[in-house]
């Protein structure tokens, strides 16, 4: 325990044993319980330390839970790296003096003692001030203190006048530059791994490259699309404003036990097989499927994406087809069954004979080094993001080692965990270093559960995992999406794009592909098992490409939609209409070297940028509602007689409204499923 005790500091993972998650230019809240003995006053501040060990930001902590002594301040790291933070507490003798002085003057007792004490701390401040030029101390500070000293000595003046001199604005400024503190106590330092912004915020677009440019020739034989033909679609994708193009696996596909269309056990001639059954005579994880092209084609694909401002994410599925070279080169990397055969994937009595899982316990070092080598191959060809397939079926230990090594050797490389599993594993993978996580978003469809989930992700698990919101994937087509027609695709796109800093769209979303394989929550004629060329021009008629384009434009224009932690739920009078405000703090909006902007609601209010979203969650019926806007991000209070507080602009339609704290909204699936509103605070 320090002299002024500091306890229960967050964010921390296992009390600082592992690093919490941070992102460049995203503020994070530091909270701690600070208390002390007796009646003397004290204060605390949170201090941010950059990777070089410099204390670059110090913020006074504010009491957020009176009675429980819980304090908070927000810190904003500005670039990626291994940052730390700590809490500093101290006894505040001047605040104590001020408190006591007011009480004594009020009771007309010990007046001379009051000013003898003031003289003492003023002289102490003067001494400090001489050494405090670095922290901005000026001659004016010195003068202010000396003038105040003169006044407090004048016993003929009233105690009130002398007190006012001791607490004048100039004196307070001087004390900022030359703080007078006792019993300064520092907590231990807590690590925060700060990643680049794409780890937190980005718009993703998923494709099976072989579908793009595939076709049937005259005799009905399918011809695969290639990396080269897929690259021709990059302009369209970039045109919608996406930041990341994500490719399902591009490595050779096995032929033994290859799956046929709709996950049937027997592939028909010409069936291309699942790209997740990796490995054939043409190579394994470090090779490219010959039908897709060569590494040269891959390099050109990456270069083209880059020229459009997009990064390439590659699927990384650590499993093997029966034809994978590892099976013959390294049979020891697999499980040998009691009957001497190598084990295919199995969840008895179900068998997945097209897939052989690695056994990470047989030769952990050998497997680890080989996987690092494979990742390095793709990194050398421009891949900057790996979407890791089913990381929760591999040892967490393995990922911990890999993430630690890559954070040092390749700090720009990002890993997305596709672990649709229970919270301990999902958060555990985040804790060991995955940059981003698929999450339960697709299955949260009711208003209340969405509100709770947004809140949980932003305020409870934010130091452990960064969520990616995907309305659909090639594996997931929920009943809500199957049943809700185009409006479901529209409203879930708005929810995904404004509900989390990262969202993703699986190719075909534009066409409202919502037919499921009977009995399954996934697409019929799943693209995993067949070519799926699409008519993008038909897609234009749904209006969804236009909606996605608008959403991505709004996301790029508003830092508030690129941050996880600034969210307030706005209650509404309808159980079908959800509303939330996302906001960014001034330091977050400032950018890497920019001046810190004025908050929307004026000095001291939290939000420098904000977007209010309102969505009708019912894809079948129109609803209206009165909102109960949470005003706290704006630091405004309700006006008289409902006068307007905000001018809001629907960034989807360009319409402008004057809103007070209880606006009325009406949303219809046929016309508009949502408002996405930028905000101007009307000042008096």
Q: Which residues bind a second copy (CB under 8 A)?
A: 1-3, 5, 7-8, 14-17, 33-39, 67-69, 99-100, 103-104, 106-107, 109-110, 112-113, 116-117, 119-120, 182-183, 337-339, 347-349, 361, 392-397, 400, 422-425, 428, 431-432
Three-state SS string across 172-234, please? HHHHHHCCCCEEEEECCCEEEEEECHHHCCEEEEEECHHHCCCEECCCCCEECCCHHHHHCCH
Least Cβ distance, residue 184 to a second copy (angstroms): 12
Burial class (CB in 10 A: 0-12, 13-18, 19+), 280: buried
Least Cβ distance, residue 362 to a second copy (angstroms): 12
Closest Cα to residue 560, out of 535, 582, 536, 533? Answer: 582
Beta carbon nearer to a second copy, 120 or 154: 120
Closest Cα to residue 159, out of 107, 123, 122? Answer: 107
Least Cβ distance, residue 582 to a second copy (angstroms): 28
Least Cβ distance, residue 110 to a second copy (angstroms): 8
Q: Which residues lie below 8 Å from residue 91, measured CB to CB, with a gap of 6+? A: 3, 4, 36, 40, 41, 42, 181, 182, 183
Omega cis (within 30) before 11: yes
Active site residues: 389, 418
Beta carbon nearer to a second copy, 31 or 582: 31
**Mind giving me the DSSP string for 69-100?**
TEEEEEE---SSEEEEEEEEEEE-HHHHHHHH
Beta carbon nearer to a second copy, 338 or 595: 338
3-class DSSP state of 561:
helix
Strands 311-316 and 385-389: parallel
Beta carbon nearer to a second copy, 73 or 494: 73
The answer to whether 129 and 150 are in contact (CB under 8 A) is no
Q: What is the CA radius of gyration of the chain?
A: 30
Beta carbon nearer to a second copy, 110 or 624: 110
Beta carbon nearer to a second copy, 35 or 536: 35
Least Cβ distance, residue 570 to a second copy (angstroms): 30
CB-based burial, 589-625: b 16+ in 10 Å, e otherwise: bbeeeeeeeebbbeeebbbbbbbbbbbbbbbeeebeb
Least Cβ distance, residue 216 to a second copy (angstroms): 38
Q: In terms of DSSP H, where are the helices of 222-284?
A: 227-231, 234-239
The answer to whether 120 and 212 are in contact (CB under 8 A) is no
Least Cβ distance, residue 389 to a second copy (angstroms): 13
Closest Cα to residue 413, out of 401, 428, 403? Answer: 403
Least Cβ distance, residue 17 to a second copy (angstroms): 7
Closest Cα to residue 578, out of 626, 614, 629, 610? Answer: 614
Least Cβ distance, residue 36 to a second copy (angstroms): 8
The backbone region for 604, taken as left when phi is positive above 0, alpha when psi lies in -120 to 50, beta otherwise, is left
Closest Cα to residue 611, out of 497, 456, 452? Answer: 497
Q: Round to whole Å and give the CA distance between 305 and 433.
A: 27
Strands 190-195 and 467-469: unpaired
Q: Round to whole Å and give the CA distance between 415 and 434.
A: 5
Q: Round to whole Å and give the CA distance between 186 and 3.
A: 9
Q: What is the DSSP letter of 4?
A: S
The backbone region for 143, taken as left when phi is positive above 0, alpha when psi lies in -120 to 50, beta otherwise, is alpha
**Mind giving me the DSSP string for 349-386?**
TEEETT-EE--TTTSHHHHHHHHHHHHHHHHHTT--EE
The answer to whether 26 and 43 are in contact (CB under 8 A) is no
Q: Round to whole Å and give the CA distance between 447 and 442.
A: 13
Least Cβ distance, residue 125 to a second copy (angstroms): 15
Q: What is the DSSP letter of 266?
A: S
Least Cβ distance, residue 230 to a second copy (angstroms): 33
Closest Cα to residue 495, out of 310, 674, 241, 264? Answer: 674
Beta carbon nearer to a second copy, 201 or 464: 464
Least Cβ distance, residue 113 to a second copy (angstroms): 5
Beta carbon nearer to a second copy, 396 or 524: 396
Burial class (CB in 10 A: 0-12, 13-18, 19+), 477: buried
Beta carbon nearer to a second copy, 110 or 271: 110
Beta carbon nearer to a second copy, 348 or 518: 348
Least Cβ distance, residue 165 to a second copy (angstroms): 17
Beta carbon nearer to a second copy, 395 or 543: 395
The answer to whether 577 and 614 are in contact (CB under 8 A) is yes
Q: What is the DSSP letter of 254?
A: -
Beta carbon nearer to a second copy, 142 or 183: 183
């Amino acid at each position: 325990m320090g002299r002024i005790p500091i306890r229960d500091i967050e964010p921390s993972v296992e009390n600082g044993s592992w690093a919490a998650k941070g992102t460049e230019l995203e503020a994070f809240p530091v909270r701690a319980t600070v208390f002390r003995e007796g009646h003397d006053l004290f204060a605390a501040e949170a201090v941010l330390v950059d990777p070089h060990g410099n204390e670059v930001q110090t913020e006074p902590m504010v009491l957020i839970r009176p009675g429980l002594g819980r304090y908070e301040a927000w810190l904003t790291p500005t670039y990626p790296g291994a940052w730390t933070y700590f809490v500093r507490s101290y006894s505040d003798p001047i605040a104590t003096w001020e408190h006591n002085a007011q009480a004594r003057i009020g009771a007309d007792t010990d007046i001379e003692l009051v000013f003898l004490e003031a003289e003492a701390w003023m002289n102490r401040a003067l001494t400090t001030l001489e050494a405090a030029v670095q922290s901005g101390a000026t001659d004016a500070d010195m003068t202010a203190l000396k003038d105040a000293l003169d006044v407090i000595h004048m016993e003929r003046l009233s105690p009130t006048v002398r007190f006012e001199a001791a607490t004048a604005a100039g004196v307070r400024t001087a004390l900022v530059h030359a703080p007078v503190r006792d019993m300064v106590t520092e907590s231990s330092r807590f690590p925060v791994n700060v990643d680049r912004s794409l780890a937190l915020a980005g718009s993703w677009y998923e494709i099976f490259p072989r579908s793009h440019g595939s076709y049937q020739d005259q005799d009905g034989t399918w011809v695969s699309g290639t990396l080269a033909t897929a690259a021709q679609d990059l302009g369209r994708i970039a045109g919608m404003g996406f930041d990341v193009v994500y490719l399902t696996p591009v490595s050779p596909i096995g032929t033994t036990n290859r799956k046929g269309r709709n996950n049937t056990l027997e592939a028909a001639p010409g069936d291309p097989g699942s790209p997740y059954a990796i490995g054939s005579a043409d190579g394994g994880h470090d090779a490219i499927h010959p039908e897709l092209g060569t590494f040269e084609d891959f390099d050109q694909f990456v270069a083209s994406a880059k020229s459009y401002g997009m990064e390439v994410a590659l699927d990384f599925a650590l499993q093997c087809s029966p034809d994978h070279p590892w099976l013959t080169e390294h049979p020891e990397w697999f499980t040998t069954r009691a009957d001497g055969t190598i084990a295919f994937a199995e969840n008895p009595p179900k068998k997945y004979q097209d897939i052989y899982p690695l056994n990470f316990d047989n030769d952990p070092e050998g497997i680890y080094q080989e996987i690092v080598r494979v990742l390095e191959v793709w990194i050398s060809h421009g891949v900057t993001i790996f979407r890791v397939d089913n990381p929760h079926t591999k040892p967490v230990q393995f990922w911990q080692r890999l993430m630690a090594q890559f954070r040092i050797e390749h700090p720009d490389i990002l890993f997305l965990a596709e672990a649709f599993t229970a919270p301990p594993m999902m958060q555990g993978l985040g804790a060991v270093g995955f940059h981003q996580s698929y999450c339960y978003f697709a299955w949260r469809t009711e208003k209340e559960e969405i509100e709770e989930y947004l809140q949980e992700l932003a305020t409870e698990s934010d130091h452990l995992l960064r969520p990616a919101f995907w309305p659909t994937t090639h594996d997931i087509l929920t009943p809500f999406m199957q049943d809700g027609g185009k409006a479901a695709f529209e409203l879930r796109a708005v929810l995904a794009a404004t509900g989390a800093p990262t969202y993703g769209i699986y190719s075909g979303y534009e066409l409202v592909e919502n037919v499921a394989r009977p009995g399954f929550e996934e697409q019929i004629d799943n693209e995993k098992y067949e070519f799926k060329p699409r008519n993008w021009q038909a897609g234009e008629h749904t209006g969804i490409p236009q909606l996605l384009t608008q959403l991505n434009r709004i996301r790029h224009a508003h830092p508030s939609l690129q941050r996880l932690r600034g969210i307030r739920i706005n209650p509404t009078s309808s159980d079908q209409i959800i509303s939330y405000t996302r906001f960014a703090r001034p330091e977050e909006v400032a950018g890497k070297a920019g001046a810190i902007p004025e908050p929307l609601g004026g000095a001291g209010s939290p939000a420098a940028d904000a977007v209010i979203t309102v969505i009708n969650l019912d894809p079948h019926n129109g609803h209206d509602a009165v909102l109960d806007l949470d005003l706290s991000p704006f630091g405004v209070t309700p006006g008289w007689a409902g006068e307007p507080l905000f001018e809001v602009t629907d960034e989807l339609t360009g319409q402008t409204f004057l809103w007070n704290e209880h606006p009325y909204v009406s949303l219809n699936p046929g016309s508009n499923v949502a408002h996405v509103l930028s905000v101007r605070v009307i000042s008096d």
